[in-house]
Structure formats: C-alpha cells, structure tokens
Amino acid sequence: GNSVTQMEGPVTLSEEAFLTINCTYTATGYPSLFWYVQYPGEGLQLLLKATKADDKGSNKGFEATYRKETTSFHLEKGSVQVSDSAVYFCALSDLDNQGGKLIFGQGTELSVKP
C-alpha cells in the first residue's frame, strides 16, 4: 500500500542554520505530495505542495521538490528562525482512494534555538 517515511526527530538547530527534513514515499502512480506544519497549540496548516514530478513547492522560505526517481519530497530551508519551531508532516494523497484521504509520515519535531 501507499506510505510515507520521514526522518525521525526531534531536530534541534541554531537560528540561521540550514534545514533538511527527509521524506520518501511509496505509492502507485503519481500522487500529490504535501508538507503540513503544526505550530504549538494550533492545527495542521498546509505549508506547500507539489502535484507532479519535478514540481517545486515553496512557501515562507521552505522548499520541496517532487523527485520521482528517488520517490522523495525533502523539505529544505536555507536559514531557520525560532518561529519555525513546530512539527512537520509529509503527506501524500491516496490515488487509490476516490475520497482523497491523506497518508502521513510520523512527523518531525523541529526546535530552533536562538
């Protein structure tokens, strides 16, 4: 079946450090890929998305490129801020399911220290 695997956390970085959170997926066909973020005390928010191979999603300085050859969708940011501290979830839309349910990775907690 379809699945998503994320690098385990927690990840602790200093402000202005470079961030990479790895995400790989297993799926039939070409699902849409997403990164959601959950800030403390808030709901999941869509951070960025990509719908086909080589698409690059970007938002708030974060980027991720849909890599079909490596079945990956790694999240990157060149210079993190304290306000980026949150839990990040990689997800795909299940093409085998007409209802569009999302399949998530286990989440990666990021803590950015000043």
Partner 1 sequence: EAGVTQFPSHSVIEKGQTVTLRCDPISGHDNLYWYRRVMGKEIKFLLHFVKESKQDESGMPNNRFLAERTGGTYSTLKVQPAELEDSGVYFCASSQGAGGSTAKNIQYFGAGTRLSVL
Distance, CA of 93 to CA of 26 (rounded, Å): 11
| Residue 16 beta carbon to partner 1: minimum distance, rounded to whole angstroms | 28
Q: Which is nearer to partner 1, 77 or 89 (CB)?
A: 89
Helix/strand/coil for 101: coil
| Residue 66 beta carbon to partner 1: minimum distance, rounded to whole angstroms | 11
| Residue 2 beta carbon to partner 1: minimum distance, rounded to whole angstroms | 11
Contacting positions for partner 1 (CB under 8 A): 4, 32, 34, 36, 41-46, 49-51, 89, 91, 93, 97-107
Enumerate the β-bridge partners of residue 54. none
Distance, CA of 36 to CA of 104 (rounded, Å): 9
